[in-house]
Amino acid sequence: MLIAGNWKMNLKYEDILKFKDILTDLKLDNQVEMAIFPQFPLLYSAKEYLSNYNIEIGAQACSSELKGAFTGDVSVEIISDIGCKYCIVGHSERRMFHNETNGFIKKASNLLLSKNIIPIICVGESEEIKNKKNTNQFIISQINECVPDNISSNLVIAYEPLWAIGTGVIPDYEEIFNVHAVIMNELSYIENLRVIYGGSVNVENCSKIFELNNVHGALIGGSSLKFKDFLAIYKSAVKQII
Ligand code: PGA
């Protein structure tokens, strides 16, 4: 399982140290990975301070180009140099505010794979699509347009329904199970594929989500900023393994 904390545009340098302090009596289970995704300028410090604790570090986004005149963008080369294991690609906020398209996501994912960074590709339907009962069809087309063609391993898909992000509302557990099954089926040729759920995961709902046997972890926004909650969610994932 993968428990990933997407800090978005929150928290500062001093919070990395506070996060480190709270880890002292945490026993990481080797079947449940913990990863955090701080803002770019914090990645290096996060790597430096947290690597002793076996916490993985990831970037929240990347450019689809390797280098050049792309002011403000960040290359996968730098993300790789810092030692990030993961990079989120196509988060709905990037799709919405930075026009990241499925084509962009595919290109960026290819670059990430070429640098041995595991892409966490985000997919998810809007409320309108859900209400029209077109979720499965929509997710299948997102998957087909975003996932690199020749990929055989090293991929995480985050299923994040747009209407569940930051709203406190989550799908029925059965709905999560069904969409994860669709994704697993579509990408059954990928070895060790992990499909994680994201959108309003919290201390109260996480154990029921982790009970679903095709949920391989969670991408957590708001609750990852409250470190005690994030750790409690991690422990709930560990309990599910035992
Ligand atoms: P949330 O965010 O947990 O605050 O809903 C999840 C995400 O956007 O990845």
pLDDT tens for the chain, 242 residues: list them. Answer: 999 999 999 999 999 999 999 988 788 898 999 999 999 999 999 999 998 898 999 999 999 999 999 999 999 999 999 999 999 999 999 999 999 999 999 999 999 999 999 999 999 999 999 999 999 999 999 999 999 999 999 999 999 999 999 999 999 999 999 999 999 999 999 999 999 999 999 999 999 999 999 999 999 999 999 999 999 999 999 999 87
* Nearest residue by C-alpha to atom 6 in ligand 1: 221
Q: Which two tokens stand for residue 7?
A: 């800090």
Atom of ligand 1 nearest to the CA of 166: 5
Atom of ligand 1 nearest to the CA of 199: 5
CATH code of residue 43: 3.20.20.70
Atom of ligand 1 nearest to the CA of 198: 6
Ligand 1 probe mutation, 36, 160, 167, most atoms within 8 A of CB:
160
Closest CA to 36 of 86, 94, 89, 100: 86
Taking 3-state DSSP, the helix, strand and coil percentages for the chain, each rounded to the nearest 5, stand at: 45, 15, 40
CB crowding 113-144: b at 16 or more within 10 Å, else e: bebebbbbbbbbbeeebbeeeebbebbeebbe
What is the extent of the structural domain holding 153?
2-241
pLDDT at 96: 96
- Among all residues, which ones are annotated catalytic? 91, 160
Rounded Cα distance, 234 and 52, in Å:
18
Distance 223 CA to ligand 1 centre (A): 8
Distance 69 CA to ligand 1 centre (A): 31
Q: Are 118 and 155 in contact (CB under 8 A)?
A: yes
pLDDT at 27: 84
Give the global pTM: 0.97
Closest CA to 210 of 188, 190, 232: 232
Q: Does ligand 1 lie within 6 Å of residue 161's CB atom? A: no
How many domains does the chain fold into? 1
Rounded Cα distance, 4 and 96, in Å:
21
Closest CA to 166 of 59, 16, 8, 4: 8
Q: Does ligand 1 lie within 6 Å of residue 165's CB atom? A: yes
Q: Does ligand 1 lie within 6 Å of residue 222's CB atom? A: yes
